[in-house]
């Protein structure tokens, strides 16, 4: 997008903007506006700002999906493998499914019960665990559970227990040091940066093919068809 047009948009709306995403075939761009990088969709002339969804009537794909897919992938690219809770695929790996999940979310719990079905079909699952209502200062039962999961020597089994509704022995938050609790805020900020719209919030990254954004709960059998 021409820098002159970007500056023109900037002057009209009164704030910093930058081009964040462009589609090779569609006459629209995503500009990120302000400190929080709120996405604005504009046409190539910079005259029209679109407030709402733009859906391709032939494919059914929403324009911002490409933008959100890109932002999600940027987040996972900067994360270390130790920051995920990984459920390995069985046999040959065909794809990796990254999932932003909240233990208090009923649909996250429902999805969690289907992870083994994905694993058996060659899908590795990597969980990014966070509290949707993060306040910046860890507190309360949910943050306590997440802190215990993230700092466990056996994260998978402890997470499975929490998702199953089982009681686990909880170490109080004041028993963790600041480094132990840092991942809670990091994961929440990662979810914001990925433009999370709800949980579970997932990105399917196949070994061969295009990445696919999955917003909300989708059954494992449907994910396997993507």
What tens digit of pLDDT does each residue of 71-90 get? 999 999 999 999 999 999 99
Q: Is 81 left (phi over 0), alpha (psi -120 to 50) or beta?
A: alpha
Phi then psi for residue 65, to 5 deg, are -60, -40
Topology adopted by domain 82-223? Glutaredoxin (3.40.30)
pLDDT at residue 28, as a whole number = 84
The mean per-residue pLDDT over the stretch 8-34 comes to 78
Contacts by residues 163-171 (CB-CB < 8 Å, ≥ 24 positions apart): 163/103, 163/108, 163/109, 163/112, 163/113, 165/109, 170/144, 170/145, 171/144, 171/147
* CA dist list (Å): 140 to 115, 136, 161, 168, 199: 28, 12, 19, 15, 20
Residues 152-179 have pLDDT tens digits of 999 999 999 999 999 999 999 999 999 8
pLDDT at residue 6, as a whole number = 66
pLDDT at residue 82, as a whole number = 94
Apex 35 CA angle, 84 and 81, nearest 5 = 10
Collapse the DSSP code of 166 into the 3-class scheme (helix H, G, I; strand E, B; otherwise coil) and give the result: coil
Residues 106-149 have pLDDT tens digits of 999 999 999 999 999 999 999 999 999 998 899 999 999 999 99
Topology adopted by domain 3-58? Nuclear Transport Factor 2; Chain: A, (3.10.450)
5, pLDDT greater than 70: no
Residues 23-56 have pLDDT tens digits of 877 788 888 877 777 787 888 888 888 877 888 8
Do residues 109 and 217 touch, judged by C-beta distance below 8 A? no
**Are 3-58 and 82-223 the same fold in CATH?**
no
pTM, two decimal places? 0.85
pLDDT at residue 210, as a whole number = 92
Rounded Cα gap, residues 13 and 38, in angstroms: 13
The mean per-residue pLDDT over the stretch 1-27 comes to 73
Query: Domain limits of the chain?
Result: 3-58, 82-223
Among 17-31, 146-160, 177-191, 195-209, the minimum mean pLDDT is found in: 17-31
Q: Give the residue from 75, 32, 52 showing the smallest Cα distance to 202.
A: 75
Apex 76 CA angle, 70 and 77, nearest 5 = 85
Q: Are strands 28-33 and 17-22 parallel, antiparallel or unpaired?
A: antiparallel
| pLDDT band for position 4 (cuts 50, 70, 90) | low
């Amino acid at each position: 997008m021409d820098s002159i047009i970007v500056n023109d948009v900037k002057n009209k709306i009164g704030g910093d903007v930058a081009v964040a995403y462009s589609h090779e075939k569609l006459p629209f761009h995503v500009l990120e506006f302000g400190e929080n990088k709120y996405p604005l969709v504009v046409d190539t002339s910079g005259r029209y700002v679109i407030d709402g969804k733009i859906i391709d009537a032939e494919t059914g794909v929403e324009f911002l999906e490409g933008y959100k897919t890109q932002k999600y992938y940027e987040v996972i690219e900067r994360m270390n493998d130790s920051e995920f809770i990984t459920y390995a695929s069985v046999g040959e790996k065909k794809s990796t499914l990254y999932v932003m999940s909240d233990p208090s979310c009923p649909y996250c719990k429902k999805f969690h019960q289907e992870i083994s079905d994905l694993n058996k079909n060659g899908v590795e699952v990597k969980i990014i665990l966070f509290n949707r209502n993060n306040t910046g200062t860890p507190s309360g039962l949910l943050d306590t559970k997440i802190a215990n999961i993230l700092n466990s020597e056996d994260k998978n089994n402890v997470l499975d227990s929490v998702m199953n509704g089982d009681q686990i022995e909880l170490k109080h938050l004041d028993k963790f040091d600041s480094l132990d609790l840092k991942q809670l805020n990091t994961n929440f900020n990662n979810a914001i940066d990925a433009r999370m719209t709800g949980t579970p919030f997932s990105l399917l990254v196949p070994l061969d093919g295009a990445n696919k954004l999955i917003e909300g709960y989708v059954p494992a059998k449907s994910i396997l068809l993507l």
